[in-house]
Amino acid sequence: MIRLGHTVSTLDAESRFGLDVLLDVARVPLAHREIDCVQLHIHDHGAETTHEAGQVHVPRSLLRETASLVGFLREQHSDARDRHGRVPSSENELVARHLEQIPIAHDHAIGLRLASQRAAGDRPFLVLPPWPEGRSWAAAISHDVDIVDTWFALTLVRALEVARGHDFSTAARILWSGLGGVGRDPLLDSVRRILETESRLGFDSTWFVLTGRPTLRGRIRKDVTYSLDSRPARETLSKILDRRQEIALHGSFASAELPGEQARQRRDLARYLPNAPCGVRQHFIKMRPGATQREMAAAGFEYDASFGFPDRAGFRLGLADCSPVWDGTARTTLPLEAVPMMWMDRTSSKYSGVEDPRRWLDPAMVTADAARAREGLWVGIWHPYLTSATGFPGAEEAFQELLHALAQDRPWCARLTDVVSWRRWRRAIRVASAADPDHPISVEAPEGPWRLDTGSDARGNPVAISVLPSLAPSESESPEPPGPTRG
C-alpha cells in the first residue's frame, strides 16, 4: 500500500494514467491518508526509481513511457494501413524497438513494487494477491469462431495455400482427408472436442462469434461467413452455452469502422444469448486504434480482447495483464478494459510458413513463461476450424498438448468476463486501516463475487486482510496537499 505525495499533482493526464497502471499491475493499493505508510513522489532527475525510508521516488519519464506503451499512443496517432486496412504491427512502439516479446511496462510495475517494499521498512505494507483461488498466474483460452459451415471451401483454400509452396503431396493429402469429412460435420465435432478437453483439464473459455448477414462478397473477403440463424451456428452456440462458457462478439470488418455498428452487433448477438455479451474481439484484429474502442465503450462492452498482434506473438501493450483502455484523443481512460492476446494458433503458419502444428506452440510457451514469471495473465486464441478435414492434420492434437502444458503450472483458467471482473474489483480496493502488526489490514472493496483474506507484506510474508464495503469515493486517489512529510 502507498500514499500519493503532493508532487503527484504535477503529472499530466497521460503520466497519471501511467502511474495508475503501474500501481494496479504492481498490486500495490492506495491507502487512506491517516495511515503511516510509504509515500510516493515524482522526480525529474534521471530515469531511475529510488527509495529511502518511507518514500519512493518515481521518475516522470518512466510514467510517460508506461502511458505511451499501455495507451498504444503511437498506434492511435498513426495513419499507416496494411492491406487489411489495419495499422501495421510495425507502428507499435515495442515492435519498432524489437521489444514486443518482453512485457516492459509490466516490469516497470514490478520495479515500483520492489522499491516500495524496500522503502517500507517496518511500516505496514500490503501487496494484493494476483489472482483468485490462490493461483499465482492466469491463463485464458479463447476461440474465434470464423466459420461454422461450408467447411469444404476451407479445405480447398488450404490445399491451394500449401500447393503454392510447391508441396503437392501435402496438398493431395489435405484434399483426401477433406473428402473423408464429407457427410460429417468436422467443425461442430471440433467444437465438441475442444469443450470436452477444456472441461477435463479445468479450463473455462471464451468464444467470439460473428453476427450479421453473410454475403458472397463477405465470404470471399472472409468477413461474415455465417448467420446465427443457421443450424450449424445455433448448434455451436448451444454446445458452448450448455457448458456454461462465455460467448462474446467477434466484431466484423464493418464494426471496425462504422459508427454505431458495435452497438448494433452487440444488440444483435444479445438476441441469441441469455445476457448481452460483455466482451468483443475484432475479426482479423481489424480496428482503428482508439476510435473503435470508443465505439465499443459506447456500445456497453466491458472489455476488448483485441490487444495482440495478428502477425506475431508478443505483448502489444507491454503488459501480461489487463488495463483500462486509454483514449488518446480525449486524454482519459474509457470504461473499457484492454485484454491482451499474446498468441494465436495460425500466426506461425500464415506469416512464417511453419506447417507443423506442434511448432506453433513454441511462441505460446515462450509468452506463457514470460507471463507466469511475472504472476501475470496469458491469453491465447485457438480457432476451432483447425481440423484434419479442413487441412490442418495434427492441429487438434497440438491444442491438447498446449492445454496439458499450461495446466501443469496450475494457472487460474477463467473466462475473460471473470478475469476482467476480478481485475476491476482488485483495482478498486483501498486500504482503510492498518492499526498494528497483530491485526489484519482493513481494506475497502466494492461489492462483488470475490473474496480476499490474505495479501503479502513488505518482506513477502502473508498478512491477513479484512474486507469492508466501500462507502464513499475514496480521497486516496488525489495527491496529498504539500506539507511536512511523515514517515
Q: Which residues bind Zn ion (CB under 5 A)?
A: 144, 146, 283
246-262 in b/e form (b: 16+ CB < 10 A) is bbbbbbbbbbbeeeebb
Element (H, E) at 437: none
Q: How far is the CB of 145 from Zn ion (least distance, A)?
A: 8
Rounded Cα–Cα distance for residues 292 and 327 (Å): 10
Q: Which is nearer to Zn ion, 279 or 328 (CB)?
A: 279
247 beta partners: 207
- Contact between 69 and 75 under an 8 Å Cβ cutoff? The reply is no
Q: Which is nearer to Zn ion, 26 or 341 (CB)?
A: 341
Rounded Cα–Cα distance for residues 390 and 424 (Å): 40
Q: How far is the CB of 246 from Zn ion (least distance, A)?
A: 16
Q: How far is the CB of 9 from Zn ion (least distance, A)?
A: 44
Q: Which is nearer to Zn ion, 126 or 256 (CB)?
A: 256
Task: Locate 62 and state its grid cell.
Answer: 518512466
Amino acid at position 453, single letter: D
Q: How far is the CB of 142 from Zn ion (least distance, A)?
A: 11
Q: Which is nearer to Zn ion, 283 or 312 (CB)?
A: 283
Q: Which is nearer to Zn ion, 144 or 418 (CB)?
A: 144
- Write phi, then psi, for 136 (nearest 5 degrees): -95, -10
- Contact between 68 and 14 under an 8 Å Cβ cutoff? The reply is yes
Strand bridging mode 30-31 / 39-43: unpaired
Q: Which is nearer to Zn ion, 225 or 293 (CB)?
A: 225
Q: How far is the CB of 208 from Zn ion (least distance, A)?
A: 7
Q: How far is the CB of 253 from Zn ion (least distance, A)?
A: 10
- Per the listing, cell 493526464 goes with 13
Rounded Cα–Cα distance for residues 463 and 291 (Å): 43
Instruction: Report the 10 Å Cβ neighbour count for 81.
Output: 12
Q: How far is the CB of 154 from Zn ion (least distance, A)?
A: 13
**Burial group, residue 97, by CB count within 10 angstroms (0-12, 13-18, 19+):** exposed
Contacts of 149 (CB under 8 A, 6+ apart): 187, 226, 230, 232, 233
Q: Which is nearer to Zn ion, 119 or 305 (CB)?
A: 305
Q: Which is nearer to Zn ion, 282 or 421 (CB)?
A: 282
Q: How far is the CB of 235 from Zn ion (least distance, A)?
A: 19
Q: How far is the CB of 198 from Zn ion (least distance, A)?
A: 19
463 beta partners: 455
Task: Locate 171 and state its grid cell.
Answer: 496438398
Residue 88's nearest CA partner among 78, 77, 103 is 78
**What single-letter DSSP state applies at residue 475?**
G
Q: How far is the CB of 283 from Zn ion (least distance, A)?
A: 4
Rounded Cα–Cα distance for residues 150 and 155 (Å): 10
Q: Which is nearer to Zn ion, 144 or 444 (CB)?
A: 144
Q: Which is nearer to Zn ion, 20 or 144 (CB)?
A: 144
- Contact between 380 and 305 under an 8 Å Cβ cutoff? The reply is no
Q: How far is the CB of 137 from Zn ion (least distance, A)?
A: 26
Q: Which is nearer to Zn ion, 112 or 305 (CB)?
A: 305
> Coil, strand, or helix at residue 444?
strand
- Write phi, then psi, for 64 (nearest 5 degrees): -65, -45
